[in-house]
Amino acid sequence: MRNINNDLTLKRNYLSKYRFLIGEYEQVKRGEHPTFRFAKDFYSAHDTDARAFLKYYNLFKQTGNELDLLPGKRGPKYGSRRPSPEDEQQVLELRDRGCNKFEINSLLKQKANNFTPSPSGVYNILKRHNRNRLKPTDREVKVKIIKERMGQLGHIDCHHLSKSVIRGQNRKLYLLCVLDDYSRLAWAQVMEDITALSTMFTAMHCMQALKREFGIQFEEIIADNGPEFGTSASLNKKNHPFERMLMETGIKRRYMKPYRPQTNGKVERFWRTLKEDLIEDTIFASDDFYFKGSRDSLETIMAKGRAELVTVTKEFETWLTVYYPEKDDTWVTLWYTEKWTDKTGKKDSLNYIDDVLLKNGKIVEYKENVRHYVAKK
């Protein structure tokens, strides 16, 4: 088999093509070309880019060497941009403190020097020194936030919901949650956008609800550095809606370090709980949430009129109230835990939820596979 590793056919063809183009181009510039009057006609006819052609043409004119017409390798030479040992030592010292690549990048940017590697550059340095994986002894000692009373510190965060979270709709929705650090009491509210103004009003409603329901008055609030909450480096905090709201209500704002969501870990864990216990097993038919639950002995009230169910007690695990849709010949949802006594004196109960079919005020059928209830304030 013929060895083609040293075949220079492409090189010869490339140089031959450029010799022809240079001759044509110089004829055009002298006004002697029989076909092309302007250089743009020459570029268009030969389907070449003016910038690329002039780059190699001018380089060839300066050196007179035809090899300069050949395209060279792009980018810096291998190893020419390798950081110095002193710069790499800075990265390793920060790694000794348990910092990850994003934290090292952020800390080096704050120093008054020209060495600011990207997170990928930091990783490459750590990999060369076999420090890309932390050992248990190198891991950073985590500082826990422990408060002594309710309201001493509040956590706030925004969460993006899936566009398909509501059945039959495709729009962006967000959740904002305010959580008390000491008691873990949380209040969340749906938002249609996460602008600073919407965030300010929603946060104010959540804090007012926690104060009204549980008597929690926050002294400090901690949030990330997102634009909806404002950054610590901002010089115009008085004009930011969320920052101004905290100033007017006498609440101190605390800022998180970049790339440290663990600082706001309590509310981040709340999002996981909300997703696992509510959103993943839930059908939402509107902005009102539908929670799934369990069913108990619905057969005992089949074909009984609602007027025959005399309520004795109602037990709730949430702040919700009973809601009966006043509809006939349609599926409705019972979503409370209710104990009742019928006219015969027999006691029974319905746990949490069930989809039932009402006809003429009577429950005549129920769905075994569809069990949820609607949340109404």
Region 26-46 average pLDDT: 91
Region 74-93 average pLDDT: 82
Res. 376: pLDDT tops 70: no
Q: To which residue do tokens 């104010």 refer?
A: 204
Region 46-74 average pLDDT: 87
Q: Kindly report which listed range (48-52, 171-175, 199-203, 365-369) carries the lowest average pLDDT score.
A: 365-369
Res. 205: pLDDT tops 50: yes
| Rounded-to-integer distance, Cα 28 and Cα 41, Å | 9
What tokens does 349 get? 């109960």
pLDDT for the residue 360: 61
In 317-361 the beta strands, taken as DSSP E runs, fall at 330-334, 337-341, 347-350, 354-359
Residue 95: strand pairing partners: none
Confidence class of residue 26 from pLDDT cuts 50, 70 and 90? very high
Give the H/E segment covering residue 54. helix 50-63
pLDDT for the residue 355: 59
- Render pLDDT for 124-174 as a digit per residue (tens, 0 to 9): 999 999 988 877 655 555 667 778 888 999 999 999 988 877 777 788 899
Res. 323: pLDDT tops 50: no
| Comparison of pLDDT for 86 and 357, the residue scoring more | 86
pLDDT for the residue 369: 46
Domains of the chain in sequence order: 18-69 (no CATH), 85-138 (no CATH), 154-279 (3.30.420.10), 290-374 (no CATH)
| Rounded-to-integer distance, Cα 235 and Cα 41, Å | 55
pLDDT for the residue 113: 72
| Rounded-to-integer distance, Cα 32 and Cα 53, Å | 20
- Render pLDDT for 307-320 as a digit per residue (tens, 0 to 9): 454 444 444 333 22
Pairing of strands 362-366, 354-359: antiparallel
Res. 335: pLDDT tops 60: no
No. of helices (H) and no. of strands (E), the chain? 9, 13
Q: Kindly report which listed range (16-25, 272-281, 355-364) carries the lowest average pLDDT score.
A: 355-364
Res. 104: pLDDT tops 80: yes
Confidence class of residue 277 from pLDDT cuts 50, 70 and 90? confident
CB contact at 8 A, 372 and 355: yes
In 205-245 the beta strands, taken as DSSP E runs, fall at 220-223
pLDDT for the residue 284: 62
Give the H/E segment covering residue 17. helix 9-30
pLDDT for the residue 112: 67
| Rounded-to-integer distance, Cα 140 and Cα 373, Å | 45
What tokens does 18 get? 């450029």
Confidence class of residue 241 from pLDDT cuts 50, 70 and 90? very high
| Sequence-separated contacts (24+) of 298-305 with Cβ below 8 Å | 298/350, 298/354, 298/356, 298/363, 298/366, 300/348, 301/348, 301/350, 301/363, 302/363, 302/364, 302/365, 302/366, 303/362, 303/363, 303/364, 304/342, 304/362, 304/363, 305/361, 305/362
- Render pLDDT for 280-296 as a digit per residue (tens, 0 to 9): 766 665 554 433 333 33
